[in-house]
């Protein structure tokens, strides 16, 4: 196949993830920076909640890019190589928890990066956002195709 069909998160899908993630972060009482990128690592939507750390505007985006790139959660990346890889990628690499790939039917279609809380809080917010997208897709199965 010279040209192939891929599944890609749309901005509409990204909004579903973002809204659910923010609603959950508000419920937790943890202000967050939340970034969602497509499968190419390009930013789709971003929001910095009231009270979130300023510098997390950068790390949230980097976490999302890293998760889309590596197709794995950033929290599980080996930290011993982090410095080297980060420098080798022009500091585009984030080996800290809070970046989670958005996987639909076994394919990574995008990723979410969450930053400003603890590792656990960041991951939880990311996962709730992704679950919301999956819930919408399963109730409207044709939206995915």
- Residues near a copy of itself, by CB under 8 A: 1-13, 15-16, 38-50, 53-59, 62-63, 65-66, 68-71, 79, 81-96, 104, 109, 115, 133, 136-137, 140, 143-145
User: For a copy of itself, which is the closer residue by CB, 15 or 23?
Assistant: 15
User: For a copy of itself, which is the closer residue by CB, 89 or 127?
Assistant: 89
Rounded least distance, CB 135 to a copy of itself, Å: 11
Q: Is 119 helix (H, G, I), strand (E, B) or coil?
A: helix
Report CA torsion sign: 45, 66, 32, 8: positive
Rounded least distance, CB 9 to a copy of itself, Å: 6
User: CA triplet 137, 141, 145: central angle to 5 degrees?
Assistant: 95
DSSP string, 96-114: SS-EEEEEETTEEEEEEEE
Rounded least distance, CB 21 to a copy of itself, Å: 13
Rounded least distance, CB 106 to a copy of itself, Å: 12
* Token output for 112: 């979410």
Cβ atoms 103, 133 nearer than 8 A: no
């Amino acid at each position: 196949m010279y040209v192939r069909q891929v599944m890609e998160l749309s901005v509409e899908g990204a909004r579903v993830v973002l809204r659910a993630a923010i609603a959950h972060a508000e419920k937790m009482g943890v202000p967050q920076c939340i970034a969602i990128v497509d499968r190419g690592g390009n930013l789709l939507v971003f929001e910095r909640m009231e009270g979130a750390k300023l510098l997390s505007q950068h790390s949230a985006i980097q976490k999302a890019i890293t998760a889309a790139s590596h197709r794995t959660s950033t929290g599980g990346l080996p930290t011993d190589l982090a410095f080297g890889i980060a420098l080798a990628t022009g500091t585009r690499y984030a080996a800290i928890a809070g970046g989670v790939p958005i996987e639909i039917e076994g394919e990574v279609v995008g990723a979410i990066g969450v930053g400003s809380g603890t590792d656990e809080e960041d991951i939880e917010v990311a996962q709730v956002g992704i679950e919301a997208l999956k819930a919408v897709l399963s109730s409207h199965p044709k939206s995915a195709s």
